[in-house]
């Protein structure tokens, strides 16, 4: 498919996505992008690339193209992508009031004087006409640098409520009185000029793409595809060489499976675009299903299959489709752990693909793993996310693997949690691994099997990996209360494990107490209130499920609970209970609050199920490898468990010295002023 002067070799298009690496970790980001190109993506894009120090997103390490000094790092990326015959795209951006400029300390800029989008109590200043001219020059200069760095496609970015080009478009933000404000013609002027400038500067060599959010999913309160969204596309129709269209804000665009169902949730908003332009169109929305992909192209809705998360979960998705290995696709589960790493400014990770972000520093590949030095008999106890991943990778390395688990069905916590409202797609973590394990000649599965230390000793395997998971505490001990509940009236107390095992709850008010701050407290409150229980959520945090801010879900969770009539009590720590009520104290003042309830579910901390591990380790004659992995080692996210299982399988048979040597490459700042 031609994109202006360049041609993509197929229809798979990795749209811009951050990596938590950006300008700080150039070699790591180049290796990550290279993996996508090797996996068959015809276009591989960078994350948003700041064009100027007044668009400084620190502390988040996005891409940066402030000046010539950024070019060597960018060249690493384009060379890596070109090695696999793919096109390299760069998403130029000025983030306006979304850029706090914490590093550069320049005053932020915006169409009008307004607050920063973060909580930092500072305002962006209104741009003058001279500022707009300067912005156009910065963008143009950045485009020339991008071309010089070897990029084939240069983006003008008007999306996610995060960019100046979009801020000028939106009447809710742009209340200017001059020729850049007022009518749509005026509000579109800056975007048009940026496209024209970019075409003029580099259009002979590079395809010029526009990323536009055509709908804000806010009804008449925001831009709508049926109104100004389509009008903008119509006005600019064939000016760019490619339209990359989506919805805003970022939480709507990168919606999780918990709230937005699978595959193609953006189609109804963007399907008009091809009728307005002769230029190719790319769109996204967790496009995992090859059938849907074909149908979208055949129905003339898109020319390219765009993907961020499906390409993170499986960088080799295009090649697998090409070779017909569709069951090999490691499908995205839509959990947004990838987003959480960007939100935290650390290298990207993925629940399904533990090699994501480890391409350079650990030299990991999602499809291959080093053969074992000596193939031996191994045993994995437990078939949750850590056990399954460990077993699979041990087998791929050539070891013989026995996988024993207590239950009839494999999956562990993934199986249990996937039964909760909205989390069904999480079962893919198990399904992807189980279907491979079931077919693997080196693997034997032993369901319904509870092994004692004696049983394990008799099996005489060279290596034993204990993946027995963890259980939730019943005593109230957690981050805010290290002493636990005073005088617990035990019939009242449940743990998430009880609920996941479908234990019957009494009639009456169910109190969910969340001192963990992850997703589970909010999910349980949602699940139970959806089932018809009267639910009260009490948390030691100031908002519901605070960690989910990082996965772009927090506001949806809190809104849904409020809509479902869940009473929410923030800032309370559990103190004591009777058989009909629980006493809490304010985390700040200690003031008491007593809440009546029929049952309390404690979401506080977990305790590793590591008795078997310790028993095996305590045997004097043991001389083989015994290792704990996943939640049995340290309870965490499912992504942590998968990673732990993967790491253990990779490291097995390496000496401690080798492990430490390979642990892991770092990118250090050069100690020269430049």
Ligand X SMILES: Cc1cc2nc3c(=O)[nH]c(=O)nc-3n(C[C@H](O)[C@H](O)[C@H](O)COP(=O)(O)O)c2cc1C
| C-alpha to C-alpha distance for 310 and 286, rounded to whole angstroms | 6
* Residue from 23, 139, 160, 167 carrying the catalytic annotation: 160
Q: Which position has the token pair 């449940």?
A: 494
Q: Is residue 314 a contact residue for ligand X (CB under 6 A)?
A: no
Q: Which residues, 26 to 55, sit near ligand X by CB under 6 A? A: 47-48
What is the rounded distance in angstroms from the CA atom of residue 13 to the CA atom of residue 152? Answer: 13
Per annotation, catalytic residue among 13, 17, 18, 517: 18
Q: Closest separation between CB of residue 343 and ligand X, Å?
A: 9
Nearer to ligand X, 292 or 534 (CB): 292
- Only one residue has tokens 């009539």, namely 565
Write the DSSP symbol of residue 589.
T
Q: Confirm or reject binding of residue 315 to ligand X (CB under 6 A).
A: no
Question: 462 burial class (0-12, 13-18, 19+ CB within 10 angstroms)?
Answer: middle
Is 359 near ligand X (CB under 6 A)? no
Q: 120 an active-site residue?
A: no
CB atoms within 10 A of CB 669: 6
CA atoms within 13 A on the CB side of 383: 30
Confirm whether 651 is a catalytic residue.
no
Span 212-271, contacts to ligand X by CB under 6 A = 246, 253-254
Nearest to 537 by CA among 560, 570, 564: 570
Binding residues among 146-165 for ligand X as defined by CB under 6 A: 159
The yes or no reply on residue 211 touching ligand X (CB under 6 A) is yes
548 near ligand X, judged by CB under 6 A: no
List binders of ligand X among 434-493 (CB under 6 A). Answer: none
Q: Interacting stretch for ligand X, rule CB under 6 A, among 223-231, 280-288, 481-489, 577-585?
A: 280-288
Stretch that binds ligand X, among 16-24, 595-603, 613-621, 656-664 (CB under 6 A): 16-24
Judged by CB under 6 A, the residue of 240, 285, 387, 422 near ligand X is: 285
Q: CA-CA distance, 536 to 596, in Å (whole number)?
A: 10
By CB under 6 A, tell whether 318 contacts ligand X. no
Q: Which is nearer to ligand X, 90 or 381 (CB)?
A: 90
Find the Cα–Cα–Cα–Cα dihedral 398, 399, 402, 405, rounded to 10°: -80
235 and 189 Cβ atoms separated by less than 8 Å: no
- Considering only the stretches 337-345, 434-442, 472-480, 635-643, report the one whose residues sit in contact with ligand X under the rule CB under 6 A: 337-345
- The verdict on 23 binding ligand X (CB under 6 A) reads no
Name the one residue in this structure whose structure tokens are 């693909």.
353
508: closest CA among 567, 575, 596? 596
Cα–Cα distance list, 267 to 229, 282, 285, 425, 666 (Å): 14, 11, 8, 20, 41
Choose which of 11, 23, 139, 309 interacts with ligand X (CB under 6 A).
309
CB atoms near residue 364 (< 10 Å): 21
Burial of 579 (0-12, 13-18, 19+ CB in 10 A): exposed
Q: Is 157 a catalytic residue?
A: yes
Q: Which of 152, 241, 249, 253 is catalytic?
A: 253
Q: Give the interface segment with ligand X, choosing from 2-10, 283-291, 361-369, 443-451 (CB under 6 A).
A: 283-291
Q: How many residues bind ligand X (CB under 6 A)?
A: 22
Is 253 annotated as catalytic? yes
State which of residues 11, 17, 84, 473 lies at the interface with ligand X (CB under 6 A): 17
Q: Return the closest-CA partner of residue 244 out of 36, 135, 92.
A: 92
Residues that bind ligand X (CB under 6 A): 15-18, 47-48, 91, 159, 211, 246, 253-254, 284-286, 307-310, 338-339, 342
Where in the sequence numbering do the catalytic residues fall? Answer: 18, 157, 160, 253
């Amino acid at each position: 498919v031609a994109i202006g002067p360049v041609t993509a070799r197929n229809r798979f298009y990795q749209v811009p996505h951050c990596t938590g690496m950006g300008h700080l970790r150039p070699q790591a980001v180049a290796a990550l992008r290279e993996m996508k190109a090797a996996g068959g993506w015809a276009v591989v894009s960078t994350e948003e690339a700041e064009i100027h120090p007044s668009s400084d997103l620190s502390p988040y390490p996005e891409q940066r193209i402030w000046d010539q000094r950024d070019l060597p790092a960018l060249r690493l990326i384009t060379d890596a992508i070109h090695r696999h015959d793919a096109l390299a795209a760069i998403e130029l951006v000025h983030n306006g009031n979304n850029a706090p400029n914490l590093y550069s300390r320049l005053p932020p800029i915006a169409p009008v004087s307004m607050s920063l989008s973060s909580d930092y109590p500072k305002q962006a200043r209104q741009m003058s006409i001279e500022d707009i001219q300067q912005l156009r020059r910065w963008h143009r200069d950045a485009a020339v640098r991008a071309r010089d760095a070897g990029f084939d496609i240069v983006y003008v970015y008007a999306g996610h409520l995060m960019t100046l080009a979009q801020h000028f478009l939106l009447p809710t933000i742009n209340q200017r009185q001059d020729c850049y404000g007022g009518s749509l013609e005026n509000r579109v002027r800056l975007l048009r000029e940026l496209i024209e400038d970019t075409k003029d500067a580099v259009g002979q060599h590079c395809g010029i793409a526009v990323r536009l959010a055509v709908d804000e999913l806010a009804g008449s309160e925001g831009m709508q595809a049926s109104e100004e969204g389509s009008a903008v596309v119509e006005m600019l129709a064939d000016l760019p060489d490619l339209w990359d269209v989506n919805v805003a804000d970022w939480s709507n665009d990168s919606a999780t499976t918990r709230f937005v169902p699978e595959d193609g949730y953006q189609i109804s908003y963007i399907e008009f675009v091809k009728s307005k332009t002769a230029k190719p169109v790319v769109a996204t929305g967790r496009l995992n299903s090859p059938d849907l992909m074909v149908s979208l192209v055949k129905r003339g809705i898109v020319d390219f299959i765009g993907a961020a998360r499906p390409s993170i979960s499986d960088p080799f998705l295009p090649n697998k489709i090409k070779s017909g290995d569709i069951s090999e696709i490691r499908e995205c589960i839509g959990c947004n752990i990838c987003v959480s790493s960007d939100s935290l400014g650390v290298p990207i990770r993925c629940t399904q693909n533990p090699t994501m972000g480890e391409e350079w520093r650990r030299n990991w590949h999602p499809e291959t793993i080093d053969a074992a030095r000596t193939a031996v008999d191994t045993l994995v106890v437990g078939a949750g996310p850590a056990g399954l991943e460990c077993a699979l990778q041990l087998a791929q390395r050539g070891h013989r693997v026995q996988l024993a688990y207590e239950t009839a069905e494999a999956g562990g916590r993934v199986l249990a949690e996937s039964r909760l409202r909205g989390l069904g797609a999480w079962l893919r973590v198990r399904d992807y691994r189980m279907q491979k394990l079931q077919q693997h000649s080196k693997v034997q599965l032993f369901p319904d099997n509870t092994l004692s230390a004696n049983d394990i000793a008799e099996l005489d395997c060279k290596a034993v990996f204990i993946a027995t998971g963890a259980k939730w505490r019943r005593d109230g001990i957690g981050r805010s209360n290290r002493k636990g509940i005073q005088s617990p009236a035990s019939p009242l107390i449940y743990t998430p494990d009880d609920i996941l095992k479908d234990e019957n709850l009494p009639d009456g008010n169910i109190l969910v107490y969340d001192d963990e701050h992850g997703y589970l407290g909010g999910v349980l409150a949602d699940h139970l209130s959806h089932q018809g229980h009267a639910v009260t959520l009490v948390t030691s945090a100031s908002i519901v499920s605070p960690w989910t801010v990082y996965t772009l879900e927090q506001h949806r969770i809190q809104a849904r609970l409020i809509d479902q009539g869940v009473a929410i009590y923030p800032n309370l720590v559990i103190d004591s209970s009777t058989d009909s009520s629980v006493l809490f104290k304010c985390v700040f003042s200690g003031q008491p609050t007593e809440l009546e309830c029929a049952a309390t579910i404690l979401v506080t901390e977990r305790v590793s199920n590591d008795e078997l591990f310790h028993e095996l380790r305590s045997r004097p004659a043991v001389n083989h490898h015994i290792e704990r992995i996943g939640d049995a080692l340290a309870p965490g996210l499912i992504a942590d468990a998968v990673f732990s299982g993967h790491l253990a399988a990779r490291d097995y048979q390496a000496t401690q010295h080798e492990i430490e040597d390979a642990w892991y490459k770092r990118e250090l700042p050069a100690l020269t002023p430049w």
